[in-house]
Amino acid sequence: MKKLIFLFIGFVLNFMNAQTTTEMVKEETIWQNFKYDMGSIGGGVGYSFSRPLHWKKKDWVNFAGFTVGTIILNLADDEINSWVNGIRSEIPEGLKEFGNHYARPEGNFSLSGAVYLTGLFIKNEKVRRAGVLMMASTISGGVIQQFGTRIIHRARPLTGKSSSNYSIGHFEKVEGYDSFFSGHTVLSFANAYAIGKQFKNPWVKAGIYTVGMIPGFTRIIVSKHWLSDVVFGTVMSIVIVESIDKYLDSKYKAKYNNNDKKVSWNLSFAPGQIGLNISFN
């Protein structure tokens, strides 16, 4: 399985390097670039945490709508978990193992570290920036997720409790009550989404996003998370990556998209249906 992960890292790095035409900055040393990038990671993390302070009315309305949508999605969690119980034995063990190992902190930072160090040593600003984006996004997402689980205390499916079982009112960790929201999903899809931004080809993007979604899918299969935990984690990772990427536009000359980075989502409701449409400009 480790060989598969490293092969994936090698594929991504080779593809990204082939796509970029950024000129090398010979006058800057590796150490100077490293210090600058570490500062950019810290700045990106701080920027993502401070964004709600700058939200306008529309942003708060969108956030409220997404929160309501997540709550409504919770109503289907028990039924979906029952359906998963019927197909669990049909899911290949290799897929579950990949989903579990890829999104662990060591797997996550192995990937982002490999991308960043490659860009640093070949003096490729676009690849460096990609690594910075990946690391800043996963740090931000990881911190937010940890606070979320300590505040909300939602029971995991494997406890045998219902999806509506919470232990709110304290900050201490409770075994089995750290379901909302999925940390594996945040780490894996933040990396996948950050890498996907390097490519214009929709098929390449789709392939990368599919790999990034495997951990969230497997966490549902192994009864560690409910569907709403994974959906919320996925959207959170997208919002965080877009926010930090916008910040990095002011820090690096190399850009993936010359347009303003804007994230918007719209929720639609109908009998028995919930629709979520996310657009990026």
pLDDT tens-digit series, residues 125-163:
999 999 999 999 999 999 999 999 989 999 999 999 999
CA 165 vs CA 154, 177, 221, 265: distances in Å = 6, 9, 19, 28
Is the pLDDT score of 18 beyond 60?
no
CA-to-CA distance for 238 and 194, rounded, in angstroms?
9
Q: Domain coordinates of the chain in residue numbers? A: 55-258
How confident is residue 99, by pLDDT bands cut at 50, 70 and 90?
A: confident
Give the pair of three-digit tokens for residue 257.
Answer: 């998209």
CA-to-CA distance for 99 and 113, rounded, in angstroms?
19
Query: So what's the pLDDT on residue 187?
Result: 92
How confident is residue 9, by pLDDT bands cut at 50, 70 and 90?
A: low
Give the pair of three-digit tokens for residue 14.
Answer: 């080779």
Which class does domain 55-258 fall in?
mainly alpha
Query: So what's the pLDDT on residue 129?
Result: 95
Average pLDDT rounded to a whole number, residues 89-114: 81
CA-to-CA distance for 154 and 156, rounded, in angstroms?
6
Counting Cα atoms < 13 Å in the Cβ hemisphere of 220 gives: 23
Q: Shortest CA distance to 227 belongs to which of 281, 179, 260?
A: 179
In this predicted model, what pLDDT tens digit does every residue of 204-223 receive, in sequence order?
A: 999 999 999 999 999 999 89
CA 248 vs CA 2, 96, 187: distances in Å = 31, 34, 19
Query: So what's the pLDDT on residue 14?
Result: 57
